[in-house]
Structures are given as C-alpha cells and as structure tokens.
Amino acid sequence: MTRDQLEDVPLSTTAEFEDVLAEAVERALAAGVEVRGAWVFKTPGSTHHWEVEILELLKEPDGGE
C-alpha cells in the first residue's frame, strides 16, 4: 500500500471506523482471503504495534443478531 487509501473517507467516530472495518473484511472474504484469526502488524510510519483478532459469531437461532 503506497498511498493513503482512506484519504477521502471520514474516520472520526466509532461508527465510521466500524464501517471501514466491515468493508475491509467483506472485500477480503469476497477475494478469498481467510480473515479469521489473529493479525499482528505495525502501523507504517509510526512506532505502534497492533494485534487484531477476527472471530465470526454464530447467528441467534431466532434470526436475531
């Protein structure tokens, strides 16, 4: 990734962050990327190190979330 892919995306609230995250997960799944599990990475250009874990939740039997 050589450019800021989120340059034009508002990202100042929890809801906006969740929208971006949901889109990234769905696009990866559609491309055949196995996203489940732990992802460890460094934030480019900073000293931050992160671990993100993605778990798929089961749907409620009544169809609720």
> pLDDT for 28-44, tens place per residue?
999 999 999 999 998 88
pTM above 0.85, yes or no: no
Q: Residues 35, 29: contact at Cβ < 8 Å?
A: yes
Say which residues have a Cβ less than 8 Å from residue 9's Cβ, sequence separation at least 6: 16, 20
DSSP secondary structure code for residue 47 in this structure: S
| Alpha-carbon torsion angle 14, 15, 20, 21, nearest 10 | 70
Which residues fall within 8 angstroms of residue 41, CB to CB, at 6 or more apart? 49, 50, 52
Residue whose structure tokens are 């971006």:
20
Res 21 pLDDT > 80:
yes
